[in-house]
Chains A and B, each alone.
Chain A
Amino acid sequence: MAEIKVKNLHKEFGVGDDRVVALENVNLDIEGHVFVSIVGPSGCGKSTLLNILSGIETASSGTVDITQDSHDANPGYVFQAARLLPWRSVMENLMFVQKERDDEARARCQRYLDMVQLGDKGDKFPGELSGGMQQRVGIARAFSIEPDVLFMDEPFSHLDAITARSLRRELHEMWKQTKKTVLFVTHDVGEAVELSNRILVFAKGGKLEDDITVDLPFPRDPSDDAVAVAKAQVLRKFEELDLLAT
């Protein structure tokens, strides 16, 4: 069972007039097979948090601790843009992030490509695929290393509403089957309510303002009354905080 512990995390960029506080004294404890959404206005430090957790950036101060089942496991990461190597085929892109590039890994990659319905596109270059397909390759890549922890940074925000919706469903299915701890950044409250057990609300200045538990059964239909009510509640909170922030 994976666990993510964040203590007194602080991150700032720049000096003088350029100084930006991206995260201020953030404390977090996430454990087990949960889907946690992080919502908040743009510029409130959501990406910075994931980047620190995944080791792309270092914290200014504070500690981050990720415990996973297997000792040397690596978290998976799905970015806002797919971030595929344009000069490598889809399959090669998945193989690129494997610890061992053996037949077993190849079979596993193929399985996750199948899961995102791109099983026959392994030989294609990313540029030959549509934006939605590329994003699915990015998702398959993150799942293909079978991580205990998965970071996702607004993975559907560049996609059209219909593609985003079907990918959301796919993602939910995959999360259910694979029992992962997911940290999912979004600025779409509806998306957060539809997918998560828990919603962390960040406000401008990188402060963690609220931690909401969403206790509704899956699958959640956005048009369902209970889901709509939950969404309205979060939105209200969101608006209050937004007003506070300005």
Chain B
Amino acid sequence: MRRAHARRTATTIREVSDIVVTTDERPEGRQRSAEEERLLAQRRRDTRNKWLWRIAGYVVVLLIWEYGFQAIMELIAGRSLNDALLPGPIRILQTIPDIWEDGEMLSNFGATLTRIGIGFGVSFIAGALIGLFTQNKWLDSFFRDLVVVSLTSPGLVWALTGLIIWGFKPLGWIFAIFMTTFALVSVNISEGVRALPKDLLDMAKAFGVSSIDRQRHIVIPHLAPYIFTAVRFGFSIAWKVTVLTEVFSSNKGIGFQMRVTSQVFQLDEFFTWVLSFFVFALFLEKVVLQRAEDRYFRWRQEVAT
């Protein structure tokens, strides 16, 4: 939001001749009106309050977790809960340095990420191809039900199937990730292809633009938002399924660590793994993907102003 705004301001300065004046920008020689000042102050207050409330949400939940449960247990059962069974946030946080120093954190994350990368990579390419194939009505019929099955069946089914057939071999998790995500990709891509801008393609044809350039400058940019959607949803499912397969059939990775720590009742470490999983997923979604998208769709932001 802030960045988009900064960019807009920059554009405004470059094209001085335009009448566009954003509220944050004070043209030379003009004071902001009292009403503008009031609106700006209110906007700032709103932003600040939103963040305060959001943080308050975290603090309250963590406080209840740390102290509230114990208090309730004591009230009801007359004794405190075993610390190992429900570790509080503080104790969980204390385990992080240990796990980090062991090198466990990085190596397990690495293992899980590699799996997701390979599994979803394969799935994305195959899914995209199938999406393109479904433009052909025969192939559309061919793939239709397969796609529906993949979209509707729970990841657990494929994780177990992969385990039964391939055991600990990579094909097991590749299979599970593939079965749960390729359809998402193909459905999105085929939707995009169905909505191809015929008017632009006709224009390019009339001007004798080569087929390669038509793909590059019309088809791909048109498909980009569909591809982003596919990656975003596909990735979030690939995450879950990968961790799931690791729980069953692996000796490394976040899922594996979750299984081990829960089996030996090390719930503090267990929650650390869960927590790091959240943090990383959030990082990918909000920072990496969002950044890439903002960059790629710069033209939309410029236009939106």
Residues of A within 8 A of B (CB): 51, 54-56, 74-77, 79, 81, 83, 85-88, 96-97, 99, 120, 124-125, 127-128, 145, 151
Contact = CB atoms under 8 A, between A and B. Distances in A.
Interface of B: 15, 17, 199-200, 202-209, 213, 217-218, 221, 299-300, 302-303, 305
A85 B218 contact: yes
B303 A85 contact: no
The 6 nearest A-B residue pairs measured at CB: A127-B303, A97-B207, A74-B208, A54-B206, A87-B221, A83-B203
Given A77-B206, A145-B207, A86 B299 contact: yes
A128 B302 contact: yes
A88 B208 contact: no
Q: Which of B17, B199, B299 has the most CB of A within 10 A?
A: B299
Contacts of A88: 217, 221, 299
Contacts of A145: 207
B224 to A, nearest CB: 8
A75 B206 contact: yes
Contacts of B213: 96
Nearest to A54: B206
A125 B206 contact: no
Contact of A128 (B17, B206, B217, B303): B303
| Interface of A, helix, strand, loop or mixed by DSSP | loop
Contact of B217 (A75, A85, A120, A151): A85
A124 to B, nearest CB: 8
Contacts of A54: 206
A240 B17 CA distance: 51
A143 B24 CA distance: 40
11 contacts: A51-B202, A56-B205, A74-B207, A75-B206, A81-B199, A86-B299, A96-B207, A96-B217, A97-B207, A125-B302, A127-B303
A61 B209 CA distance: 26
Given A51-B206, A85-B221, A125-B302, 14 more contacts: A55-B205, A55-B206, A55-B208, A56-B205, A77-B206, A87-B299, A96-B213, A97-B207, A99-B208, A125-B299, A127-B300, A128-B303, A145-B207, A151-B206
Contact of A79 (B15, B203, B218): B203
Contacts of B207: 74, 76-77, 96-97, 145
Nearest to A141: B207
Contacts of B204: 96-97
Contacts of B300: 127
A83 B197 CA distance: 10
Contacts of B209: 96-97
Nearest to B218: A85
A86 B297 CA distance: 11
B199 A79 contact: yes
Q: Which of B203, B218, B300 has the most CB of A within 10 A?
A: B203
Nearest to A74: B208
B231 to A, nearest CB: 18
A86 B217 contact: no
B299 A127 contact: yes
Contact of A125 (B17, B208, B303): B303
A4 to B, nearest CB: 15
Contacts of A79: 199, 203
A125 B302 CA distance: 8
A56 B302 CA distance: 32
Contacts of B17: 120
A95 to B, nearest CB: 10
Contacts of A51: 202, 206
Contacts of B305: 128
A125 B300 CA distance: 9
Contacts of B303: 86, 125, 127-128
Contacts of B200: 83, 85
